[in-house]
Amino acid sequence: MLSSKAKYAVRAATQLAEKAAVGGWVQTADVAEQERIPRKFLEAIFVQLRDHGLVESRRGAHGGHRLTRPPASITVADIIRVVDGPLALTPCASVTRFRACTDCVGIEACRLQPLMKRARDAVAAVLENHTLADLIAEPVKPRRKRAPKEAAD
């Protein structure tokens, strides 16, 4: 299952992708507010994306974060792998970090592994072929405003 952290990372990277055309730096506070992501959690996500070369960061009033590459060259799979690790449901189906499962009795005899490989391939086919540029090109449905809480008498 995709973690909340990975979903936040994709949403945050999408915000950076929208500003990439003008080369603008985006501040953490702005992304946190726009995407409703806790600021401290978002800062940790940006550090992780920066450490893997997807984002660069700059301090100061005119600083913030921006993508290191064009949005069309960063896939959703790239971001998910940084945050959550391999796309595969089991380690024996992973292309990037293959290893036998801890309870494996033998990969050659495993009936589950071929199915897990097909599931991984299907997920990868979608996520590796969908870039940040694709995400920002998709129309966005307006968010519904939260109804105000009724005042207690």
For residue 93, what pLDDT is reported? 86
The tokens describing 2, both together, are 């995709």
Q: Read off the pLDDT band of 147 (50, 70, 90).
A: low
For residue 104, what pLDDT is reported? 81
pTM of the model: 0.82
For the segment 110-137, what is each residue's pLDDT rounded down to a tens digit? 888 889 899 999 999 999 999 999 999 8
Spatial CA neighbour of 16 closest among 142, 136, 143:
136
Give the whole-angstrom CA distance, residue 86 versus residue 94: 6
Domain spans of the chain?
4-137
**Topology (CATH) of 4-137:** Arc Repressor Mutant, subunit A (1.10.10)
For the segment 55-110, what is each residue's pLDDT rounded down to a tens digit? 999 988 778 999 999 999 999 999 999 999 989 888 888 888 888 888 888 878 78
Rounded mean pLDDT, 41-53: 96
Buried b or exposed e, range 110-136, using 16+ CB within 10 angstroms = beebeebbeebeebbeebbeebbbebb
Could you tell me if 75 and 130 are in contact, meaning their C-beta atoms sit under 8 angstroms apart? Answer: yes
Q: Read off the pLDDT band of 39 (50, 70, 90).
A: very high
Q: Reply yes or no on whether the pLDDT at 152 is more than 90.
A: no
Instruction: Give the mean pLDDT of the chain.
Output: 88
